[in-house]
Structure 1
Amino acid sequence: MRRLTLRARLALLVLASVLPLVGYNLVGGYAAYRVDRDHAAREALDLARSLARSVESELRARIAVLEVLALSRTLAAGDLAGFRTEAEAVVARQTPGANILLLREDGQQLMNTIVPPGVPLPARQYLDNQRRVFATGGALVSNVFVGMVQQRPLLGVDVPVRRADGSVGLILALNPTLDAFEPLLRRDRASSGWILSIFDRVGARVARVPDGARLVGTPVDAALLRAWGTGDAEGSLETAAAEGRPFLTAFSRVPGIGWGVAVAIPLAELTRPAVRSAVTSLAVGLAFLVLGLGLAHLVARGISRPILALVGLAASADEGHAGGAAVPALGLPEADRLADALLAEARRRRAALAALVEGERRLRLVVAELNHRAKNALATVQALALQTARVEGADPTRFTESFTARLRTLGRAHDLLARLAWEGAAPGAVVRTGLAPWLEADGGAPGTRILLCEACDDPLPLVAPGQAQALVMALHELATNAAKYGALSRPDGLVEIACGADPAGHAVVITWRERGGPPLTGPPARRGFGTRLLERGLVHDLGADAEVALAFEPTGLRASIRFRPQPIQAPATSSGSRSEVNAASL
């Protein structure tokens, strides 16, 4: 995608806009085709049910005619000539073109209205139907078979002729013409392309519209025959029919007879509208695509020219329009604004270059300041080492522990100020930083051995970096002394710390009070490192008007630190030199 030209990208945009619409129309057309197909299947099935009921009525009417004729008195009296006259009258009135037969159980014909009297009659070869009539005693319609006399496909409607005792003695059969069923099919045929068929229990065609005369007696399509063999009363499926074309076929069984009726709809009638809709959709989509690509080409030409002009403008030297000369209109408002932006950016680059030169000068000053801070930090560490060695004497273990603890405290103070960008710290944060090892021992929060008053979290004036570092070191020394000799050296000892402002609101007061430690009889005889740090170095670092008071009361040490927060200044101040003086004064 990165190497595609603007014209190619616009062409892709047109394709992305048109093709989904074409696809949506095609999917919609297919969905409409499925709906039409389902509707046609239901319509064909309804027609098949209706035809099945009509076929049943037609066959029931013929069975009723035969059953009435079987009760003839002339037949019961054995008068075959008189009975023949009655049978021929029935054929002439109700079933023209058919013939009526009288048969014995072995199939021998005793009478056949289609054969003149006195002519020898053959025996019926198709005996399955009449055997079931003798076995069941009920009327039955046969499958299609080839007649011995007429030598053409026939079907038999057989009814029993009973003796006086009620047993079946003879068979009275009717062979209607198969074309007698075609009027039923033609009457309900909805379209000239539809195929309507009646078939027997084994799938042989009894009647068919169209081409009934040619296909009577032939089996139906194999797919329909397989579905018919499953015993389903009705259903629908795709078949090929005799023409070899695909059809949507619905079938239904004739109740009580066992025959079937099939209605086949050419799939072309269903697919033709869907194909026409799809072709129309594709043609319209192609037309829109060609139109869109043409418009994209014109738009690409209108955009590429200003872009090439902008490329030339960007590649030219900044001094080409340094004087603010107007750029000729590029023919595209966005390109004109971009040209103005390029010129403005060129001016900003020149200003940035000047600022970079100035920044480099200031960076040299900052590097010098950092070098100065590093020297101050080393001086402070050196002073801490000397003072610790002076207090702890020649014991290397005690020196290592004390010096390491003070270095860590100094590091915590630097971390606090670095997080705050050396812009000052809240008194509460300073107190927590100085007492961090003891607060962590109490579970990470004050309240067990060291109690901080709520005022320590109140908004108070920020403490300058130099003051914060000195306070952290001083609080560390107070806590160390309390852990060795004061309240924290005993399990029940407590330290209470309060922060607040003086009544005038100009100074910050931090109060340290120990309770529960060893009783004090007065100031210690020996002034250690912590005492000198509080009384001499802290007062100096906190600035003018700072006061540090230590009271060695019998209940424990009480210290009060009062100072005025100094104005927050940049790191390049005299705080480093004050630390040197502080270290030298210990």
Structure 2
Amino acid sequence: MSAPAPSLPLRWHLVRLAVGTLLPAVVFAAVVVFQLARLERKDAERRAVRSARSLAAAFEREMSGSIRTLQALAESSHLDRGELESFRAECERVRRTQPAWRQVLLFSPDGRVLFNTSYPWGAPLPTLAEQESFTRVVETHQPIVGDVAVGKGVRRALAFPVRVPVIRAGELRYVLTAVITPESLANVVSNPSTANEEWTRTLVDHQGRVAARTRDPARFVGQPATPSFLKNTRATIEGVYPDVSMDGAPVYVAFSRTQPSDWTAAVVTPRSVLDAPVTASMLAVGGLGLMLLFASAGGAWVFSRRIERSIEQASEAATALAQGNPPHMEPSSVQELARLGEALELSGQLLRERERERDAHLAAAEVARAEAVEATQAKDVFLAMLGHELRNPLAPIVTSLEVLRRRGLAQAPEHEVISRHLRHVVRLVDDLLDMARLSRGQISLRREPIELSAVVARAVETAAPLIERRRHVLVTDVSASGLQVLADADRLTQVVANLLTNSAKYTPPGGHIQLWAREFDGGIRLIVEDDGQGLTPELIPQLFEPFVQGPRTFDRSEGGLGIGLAMVRNLVEAHGGCVEAHSEGPGRGSRFTVWLPRHAQAEAPLPQETRQGPVLSGAESMSSKRVRVLVVDDNVDAAEALADLLSMSGYEAAVAHDCPQALTRAESFRPDVALLDIGLPGVDGYGVAERIHERLGEASPVFAALTGFGQEGDRTRSQAAGFRHHFVKPIDIEDLLAFIKSLRLTRSGAA
């Protein structure tokens, strides 16, 4: 029989119970706080990496601006003609607009210095200072950001080069170099935030030499980075690692390598900043835990008296019951307090879970918003540049055709074909740029009653070159009258032409294509049928989706981008119709059926003069003298053609191609109207208008923008800059003439 366990007073049991209950909670709390502190430190590390990545991006943006400027200089006609002294003067002018540039140099491919803007023309020049980047440019024919090196000049100053190859006819002719001082990178490495986590921000070149530093730059710029820095930053693109700074202090280094320059951007933070949360949290939890343990033991010791009293009362009640007396026991509040504590603990847990869910949703929403803003900005920039590049070559073509027409040289049918298809191209460019409207199917239609035969004739004319080249036999059966629809003629022509072109592409040479139209089911059914390669059953349901195409040969002779049939469906549905495809299988041809509602009661189109609206005559709106118009455009062909057209319309016109010419012509010519290209080289159209206004004052002309940028933001900006009108290339000459005629110019009314 075992000996009984030694008995202890109730107070000691309660103290042991309190300590045993609270100790796991304290340990758990310490673990949780430690993990939270680690997460906070990880978040600080991520912020440091983002800061390093941002610093790398800022450096690349700075270098990209210098590279683009050098590339623009490399296109100078002085280089084509070998006029190096004139080109040096041009480089000096550009250098004065670039605060970061110390000098501009031109090298031959063998490394010989042809000129240096810091030395007079013909003076002896120092040799090449930084050979490695020069060799890379010669080998790769790509722009290069070089490494920090000591200059060969008298001052022996630190600098690094930005080199751009000058290519002519596929051959390297020169290497154009801008020399940049490390001091110019001070704004790049400066910390834009007020956070105290970042201690030092540094840029290190490709060879591991410090190019810029926020702390004590005079001491460290030009010095090699530490071996541990080079080892860790060469191992990966970006990251964080512990190190000892060049000052000898223990730090954490967050870095990110720039692309394509292959420099390294680093953000250095003292270890105490990132380690402090963990240390402070553990000290706080440890101290608080000890306090709680002592408080719990003391509380258990104090409150045990209540429990003892309740037990004594229970014992007295049991004794009284044994003696036959009625038991009596005062109520105890211990159970209610326990339930209250459990409820509060449960409520706290639920609240913490809700807060974590809220923070996660807010973070996801912020990321999605940032991605959407970035995508929208990229789309806007892409559409603006696309519109500018597509419209610029169309402008001189449209204007030249109008000049030929007014000179009576455009009477041949070929000129009408060119003019009609050019207008079609212009409309396609406009639709291509309105991506948001196309994606929603909101394509603008100019409807009028038209016979389907006229549409078919134009579509056959469009597809004829491809059909003839592939030696197809085309048979059309469309009544000349009686098949009238209310439609946009150009858009419906595009539908039929796309179907014919599609059949021609996917039918082997020498095949047969049939096009016929009939009344059907209260409308008109148009069918394009061929005996080409046919369609698989799996392809037909997806055929009218964007970028879906059938099998193509390796030379891609049959296919484009896969948007033709998608455009067919969108345009047909916009006209209230439908389209479907059918094939008996591969090698058995295909048939496309378009159904359109028949036009029964069409309003006759308004006469041309009614649609145009009233236009004030020159006698009503202008003074008796000839109106003088200044055309400023760096596109020589477009400027000259527009000036000829204005002269033929009764106006006195002058031409300039850049800011200096524009200022000279404005002072001597004194124009009433100035048509300014916004995308001028050097000084843009806004700057030209500002300079003309500064020189002429109240005698300034009325300004109108002439540009390939036609989005809403571009129009708003030109209006805010004081431009009276915003013309988008290719310009509509009737709109331009109406604008000039409608002006009642006074010297005080100049924009």
What is the TM-score when the length of structure 1 is the normalising length?
A: 0.46
* Bigger radius of gyration among the two: 1
Of structures 1 and 2, the one with the larger relative CO (CA 8 A, separation 6+) is: 1
What is the TM-score when the length of structure 2 is the normalising length?
A: 0.37
